[in-house]
Amino acid sequence: SAYGKGLADETRKAMNAAGLTETMNESYNAGEDDYNALVSKMKEAGIDAVYFGGYHTEIGKILKQMAEQGMKAQGISGDSNNTLELGTIAGKASDGFIFTFAPEPRNLPSATEIVKRFKDGGYDPEGYTLFTYAAFQMYAAAVKATDSTDPKVLAEWLRSGKNTVPTVLGDITLDSKGDVVNPKYVFYKF
């Protein structure tokens, strides 16, 4: 996917800039069930750490097939793997898997009330739930501030770099590209 390729490319660039060279760089097709040929190639190359650019649906299968082949490489990836479904797919092979994500949003003081409301309704707001909620809060703030629903007007207001919106994730300001100013990421171990 574009997401996975972008993530892998940027990670490789940072790794290379730090003086490390990858042993191999491979792509995989999303939606397949059998990644054993890729796993065999990594095992043969003696890979001891694998950075995956992609989603938990494929990464879970690859981790499981790595374990089935006795490959003990450390798996690492990005935020799309912050879901219990990774463990459902990979089973024990997901133990120790490392991924990056923003600081746990359910633990933020600004999210306490909405997390309680979600949980009282029988839903644990894991993964991107609170990020989506914050996006709607930002949309609502832009509509209120501009008295418009025109996407171009809203984008201009949100991307001005001047408008900070209080959300369940805390105060958010976007830059001219629409990216969060000063994003925070941490490593998690599955």
pTM: 0.77
Of the candidates 85, 36, 44, the one whose C-alpha atom is nearest the C-alpha of residue 64 is 36
Identify residue 125 by its one-letter amino acid code.
P
Q: What is the structure's pLDDT at 61?
A: 98
- Chain segment 153-172, per-residue pLDDT in tens: 999 999 999 999 999 999 99
Handedness of CA 64, 65, 68, 69 (dihedral sign): negative
Percent of the residues in the chain that have a pLDDT greater than 90, as a whole number: 90
Question: How far apart are alpha carbons 78 and 9 in whole angstroms?
Answer: 12
